[in-house]
Structure 1
Amino acid sequence: MSLVAASRSEFTKQFSTSMWWILAIVLVAYVGFTATVLAFALAASSTGSIGGGEGPVLPSDQLSPLLYSTATAVGYVFPLLMGTLMVTAEFRHKTLTPTFLATPRRGTVLWAKTAIGVVVGVLFGVIGVISSVGPSAGLLAAYGLDTDLGSADTWAMIGRMVLAYVLWVIVGIGVGALVRNQVGAIVGVLVFTQFLEPVARAAAAFVEQLEPVTRYLPGAASDTLVGASIFSVAAGPGAGASSDPLEWWVGGLVLLGYAVVLLVLGYLASWRRDVA
């Protein structure tokens, strides 16, 4: 079976089940709620509507990027989980057996999954961007603040956010190929993204020697690629920030590097093994 035919088969697999749209709904709810609460708090505080002007006030040129980037800062776990499930679901339900019988070249199957992962990443990226930009821009406008939607820099950042989603899906595919057990893979993803990395990046705010290391962690690389993140404000200037910050394209290359390494390791260590 050719790569085109294998990709068509993978497309049917991914979009004929409820997995993708259930995760998309949760993504909308989670990112939309977070963006709405942050936009209300920061916009109201910036205009003095709450807190008597004593609340956190950000420079106007940082407010909209920070709010819009909520889609990646807190929502990146969803494309990562989607990519992981794209592979581990096949191990769990034994659907890889007929797939490998139809396409004996297993590398072609993995390439096809990666190609469809790009499509899924773009789809989730657009959904995530709408979920964060919509309520944030609406609240900024309601408080008389600039939404920056007419700025080319804003749209460039939005494009990088979608790219980050694509890379996270591919990272997830690599994780799924490396860790066959679905429960183990999902637990590992959640522990790392929701506990280990956030704690490490928060610790970097107080231990200067950690910052050169934590800036190359996957989540930090994603934030660098996007160019903004609520995490840098919540955790302090040392977490994810630096006196010599990385360029956005470096963050993209680091995240791409994680994806490539995980895919190669997954293919060599697990993908070529027999499927029970």
Structure 2
Amino acid sequence: MKAAAFAYARATSVVNALELLAMHGDKAKVLSGGQSLMPAMNLRLLSPDILVDIGGLAELRGITVRGDVLVVGALTRHVDLLRSPEIALHARLLRDAVAHVAHPAIRNRGTIGGSLAHADPASELPACVVALDATIVVRGSAGERRIAATEFFRGIYETALLPDELLVAVEVPVAGQGSTFFFQEYARRHGDYAVVGLAARAVVAAGRFSALRLGFFAVGDRPLLAVAAGKLINATVTPALLAEAATALADELDPQEDQQATAAMRRHLAMVLLRRCVAALLARPELGMGVGK
């Protein structure tokens, strides 16, 4: 199939892009890397009247550290996240996750802002920003807003962005002492959509979690920050406690059944990932034994 007819405007600045969005409202779609938008248009899942191309706006690219915050421009490409020393040092979870995003041709053009704004519940980066307690920076005709990542995703392909707003940056707290990360997903082939995945950030001290954020994806209509993680914080993690947390996690999940997996299979795999994550982060491999492959 081919996309329905549409108009095209190439923004010359963020201000110009916002003017175009204000003019056309919800009839417009923003084009950044286009790696999710164009396939959706070709399948007629989306039929905007006009595309506002922001791909040439250098002011929305780049990775910088400002105090205790890592600022990632919305047009920063996946491949830039892979190569950035700042990302490797302060937010390694993003680097680890991006290695699982599709294939090199997609990673060379896809952008972090485009991925977050697209809000695919099976996508890696939305779960990462939730796990990292990131803030999404958006700009519109009424000014700039900062939205917690946990509040940004509203449903399948739905976010808190208003029609006249543009996602301009992501702010991530820099990793502190004792911070550690975990990322793993199940997919039929590397680069395919995830069947279930987990992005996690933890702070470990004296063999315990003083902080733990578990961002599951492909288990509902948006990334899930698991409440069950609270059972493992400031506690000595035993097999019994981990089993209790896994049962609580299963109750939180609302996975869908599709051609890739049943809801029961997704719940099982999420529980496996929880156990593997805890075992890896605490460097206690016995906690992950007997949980399947």
TM-score higher than 0.5 here? Answer: no
Which structure would you say has the larger RCO, counting Cα contacts within 8 Å and 6 or more residues apart? 1
Question: When the two structures are superposed, what TM-score results if normalisation uses the length of structure 2?
Answer: 0.27
More helix per residue: 1
Question: When the two structures are superposed, what TM-score results if normalisation uses the length of structure 1?
Answer: 0.28
